[in-house]
Chains A and B, each alone.
Chain A
Amino acid sequence: MNLLVKPVRSSLGKKYAMAVTGLLLIGFVLGHMAGNLLIYLGPDAINSYAHALKSNPGLLWTARIGLLLVFVIHVLLGVTLALENRAARPQRYEYDATLRASWASRNMMLTGLVILAFVIYHLAHFTLGVVTTTEDNKNYLDLVEVKQGLKTYVPEPSLNLSQLDPNQVDARHDVYRMVVSGFQIWWVSVSYWLAMAFLGLHLWHGGSSFLQTLGLNSFRYASVVRLIGPLLAILVVIGNSSIPLAVMLGLIK
Chain B
Amino acid sequence: MTSLTLRGITVSLGHGDARTPVLRNVDAACRPGVLTALVGPSGSGKSTLLAVAGALLRPDSGQVLLGGTDLAALGDGERARARRERIGYMFQSGNLLGGLTAVEQLLAAASVAGRPAGRLRAAAEAALTEVGLGHRLRHRADRLSGGERQRVALARALFLEPELLLIDEPTAAVDREQAGALTELIARTATARGCAALVATHDPVVVDAAGATISM
Q: Do these two chains interact?
A: no
